[in-house]
Structure 1
Amino acid sequence: MFQSFFPQPKPFFASAIIWTIATIAFWYTIGANLGVTFGAGPLAEGTEPIGAAYFLTPDKLYFYFYFLLCGGIFGTLWRIYDREHRWLNWSIWGSIFIIFSTYFGVLVSLAVNNWRRPFFDLLQAALERKPGITAADFYILLIKFSEIGAIAVFVFIITRFFISHYVFRWRTAMNEFYMSQWSRLRHIEGAAQRVQEDTMRFADISEGLGVNLIDAVMTLVAFLPLLLSLSKHVPALPFLGEIPYSLFWLALAWSIFGTALLGFVGIKLPGIVFRNQRVEAAYRKELVYGEDDASRAAPPTVTELFGNVRRNYFRMYFHYLYFNAVRSVYSQADSVFVYFFLVPTFVAGAITMGILQQILTAFGQVSNSFQYLVNSWTTIIELLSIHKRLRAFEAVLYEEPLPEIDQQFIEAGGKEELAL
């Protein structure tokens, strides 16, 4: 699944994680300060330009250079270390491009959040009928927002186009790898489906989850400093009193609670979804055989196989019932959670409408990043079930025991039965 596309997956991903942590740590301890020395330090709160100019400030240009330098060093070292891997350019340089474009997408969110403060402060002043507010003031800010939107649309289109090719290259790599071993794999139940469909879905879902994870990390890197600075406007919380960096601790605690809760209630779902793929594959396989062999797909056999399909679907519906109930309740509570703790700040009139919009956006971004598992749990369940199917291929290739759930398919009377 991975070695066909990435060079030596275990050391590659381990080195990528270590390198990422090291470069982030260096940035926050030394790298950003070097930018100040070179005249590329961060601008003071409230002084950053609005619109397209936001992306061209000295501190942003300096970070672009730092990111590309770190990515270039990592890619070059792996290029030197493993020159023979066919898909190295796509897997390494393509991944670096996707990471950078994902970061730029986060930067767009920061630019929009930077726009919110002057716009909503202006709106509040207009609603209070303060003198000196003109229509031109609003039109200027709306034009600035359009500049950000145009950049966002361009980056999105280019990124999605590239990712589509990236995913297909990954699928091609897996397809070539498995087909080169087809003589050893063809006897596995559902082998054709695993090569044709599961590789496609695995590459697509893995890329999606990977991009979302990168986006979550990049969002934390970008929005955490903003949320920490905005916490000064909310020094005390109901029932909890004064807490330094209160908004950050709220986002962290709420996200950990949600992740643990959904992880607990959804723990059985990956296995159930996997079983569903198996019974569907067994049913489809018998029908395909019946197209060419009159002795196959007899009514008793089809009835039994479809009975397995029905039982597993009903079981899956039941487990998704309580999982979706818990997820929906958490989602509804999440939409009002931060407002509950901001009520005393509202009553005290300690913030303006613009600051409130920035707080809500920053808190939502940080909270959603911490809730990566919450937001992706259903997709992760699907990926785990596909991973279980493809692992049977690798177990055969490396002469390992089949995964436990595959061993539940046993030979009995010349046909496969599912031990439910």
Structure 2
Amino acid sequence: MFESFFPKPKLFFSSAAVWSLAAVLIWYGFAESLGAKLGFGATPEGQEPIIGLGHFVTPEALWFYVYYAICTFIFGGFWWIYSRNHRWQLWSIWGTSLLVFITYYGVQVSVAINNWFRPFFDAIQRALNNDPSVTALDLYKLLFIYAQIAVVAIIVFALTRYFTSHYIFRWRTAMNDYYVKKWGHVRHIEGASQRIQEDAMRFAQIMEDLGISMIDAVMTLIAFLPILLELSKHVKELPIVGEIPAPLVSAAIFWSIFGTVLMAVAGIKLPGLQFHNQRVEAAYRKELVYGEDHEDRAQPLTLSELFINVRRNYFRIYFHYVYFNMVRSLYINANNVFGYFILIPTITAAVAQRISLGVMQQILTAFSQVASSFQILVNSWPTIVELMSIYKRLRAFELSALERAAIPPSDGGSQTPEPEKAL
């Protein structure tokens, strides 16, 4: 799955994680302020965020683009030399870097929209309070600014999906070529054709959606955590706990960790059931296939027994999804109002301590972005369950058929499976 597309996957991903962490620490340590010394300029301290398209070409933004390119060139250049014979390194190394950048750029669109919320809703609030300084033209101008940002959002979204689709299909192509080369050794393995065609296809499809969501979640955290930390100065206390440092960030982290643990506990049985489901379905399908060529196979009694196994497993899945969906739905509905819940002490505080409608909308949006990033496992748990099931099947296929190794007990197999029964 990974070796076919990425050079030395374990080393590649571990080095990418270390390098990314180092790049982030260097950026927030001293590199962020280095741009002004290198001639990129700097936004005056205390100046309000730029509203509109200017957000994407501030001195800080331009310097970050250059900084990201430098970090990519160093990391990509090392791997380009170290794995020069790897067929897919153009897509797996440089393509991954480009995918991360355009995802980051998409997150910056969300930041630009969040900056727009304050002046727009503050203007709405003043207009509703009969402030004559707010005219219809002012509101139309703010809506036009939003339209400009929306155009950028649409273009970035479309291009991101287009590039991601090509990127993932190259990954599937690499997997397909890797497995097909081994076809002579695996053609007699039960379900080999399904592993190579269907599971590789589904793995690629899920990675296209889930992978980009994971990257987007990380980029959103990097972009919105400082914003949420800055907005915390408007919130003096939280319900129940009272005054704490960085209340909005603390609340987002607590609520997200709570939801993640809750979903993990509620759905702990689902990956194994989905994995077993493929086994019973494969056994039933195999008997039907044999029955097409042999009259003594696929007898009604045999098919009935095999289908009973299929039905039993599906009923178990349905049962476990009942309480999982109840827990997930309960959390999602509570999440819809949790942002308002933590702002109640601030909204009902003394007049001098209250926040404006624009600031409230900005806080709610930033809080939602950060909380959603932490909640990526909650929001994508059914998809993650399916991906884990596919990974187990492909990994079992590789271990038993390609590497001639035993399937680990945790993957649902025995220590020494027979190749014909491994899947």
Q: Give the TM interval when normalised to the shorter protein.
A: over 0.9
Question: What pairs with 1:5-404 in structure 2 (closer than 5 Å)?
Answer: 5-37=5-37, 38-42=39-43, 44=45, 47-348=48-349, 349=351, 350-396=354-400, 397-404=402-409
- Equivalent AA in structure 2 for residue 403 of structure 1: P
CA distance in 1, matches of 2:142, 2:47: 15
Aligned to 2:4: 4
- Between the two proteins, the alignment pairs up a number of residues equal to 415
Q: Secondary structure at the match of 1:241?
A: coil
Q: Give distance in 1, aligned partners of 2:415 and 2:204.
A: 26
Runs of 4+ in 1 over 4 A off after TM superposition: 42-46, 408-411, 415-418
Amino acid paired to 1:298: Q
After superposition, the Cα gap between the structure-2 partners of 1:374 and 1:42, relative to the gap in structure 1 and judged at 3 Å, is farther
Q: Quick check: 2:172–2:201 contact (8 Å CA) kept in 1?
A: yes
Q: Which is further off, 312-321 or 67-76?
A: 67-76
Which letter maps to 1:407? Answer: S
- Name the CA distance, whole Å, in 2 between partners of 1:50 and 1:364: 20
Q: Is the 8 A contact 2:288 2:298 kept in 1?
A: yes
Indicate conservation of the 8 Å contact 1:190/1:282, yes or no. no
Structural RMSD (CA): 1.9
Aligned to 1:406: 413
In 2, Cα distance between equivalents of 1:261 and 1:197 = 32
Query: Does the 8 A contact of 1:103 with 1:218 survive in 2?
Result: yes
CA distance in 2, matches of 1:336, 1:311: 39
8 Å contact from structure 1 (residues 391, 403) kept in 2: no
- Range that drifts further, 306-315 or 280-289: 280-289
Percent identity over paired residues: 57
Alpha-carbon separation, structure 2, partners of 1:20 and 1:269: 33
Q: For the structure 1 residues 229 and 106, does the alpha-carbon distance in structure 2 shift closer, same or farther, using more than 3 Å as the test?
A: same
Alpha-carbon shift at residue 42 of structure 1 (Å) = 4.9
| Equivalent position SS for 2:348 | helix
Partners in 1 of 2:106 and 2:82 — Cα distance? 31
Q: Is the 8 A contact 1:259 1:373 kept in 2?
A: yes
Moved more, 260-269 or 40-49: 40-49
TM-score norm. by structure 1 comes to: 0.94
Structure 2: unaligned runs, 5 residues or longer:
none
Q: What is the deviation of 1:344?
A: 1.6
Measure how far apart 1:286 and its partner are.
2.1
What CA distance in whole angstroms lies between the structure 2 residues aligned with 1:309 and 1:42? 64
TM-fit CA distance, 1:210: 2.3
Q: Letter of the aligned partner of 1:14 in structure 2?
A: S
Query: Greater CA deviation, 336-345 or 380-389?
Result: 336-345
Deviates more, 1:221-230 or 1:185-194: 185-194
1:235–1:244 contact (8 Å) kept in structure 2: no
Change (3 A) 1:46 1:288: farther
SS for the counterpart of 1:248 is helix
Q: Which runs of 5+ in 1 are unaligned?
A: none
What TM-score do the two structures reach when normalised by structure 2? 0.94
| TM-fit CA distance, 1:406 | 3.2
CA-to-aligned-CA distance 1:5-25 (integer Å, 9 cap, x gap): 001101000100001000000
Q: Is the 8 A contact 1:409 1:416 kept in 2?
A: no
31-40 vs 343-352, greater mean Cα deviation: 31-40
Q: SS in structure 2 opposite 1:271?
A: helix
SS of residue paired to 1:406:
coil
Displacement of 1:392 in angstroms is 1.7
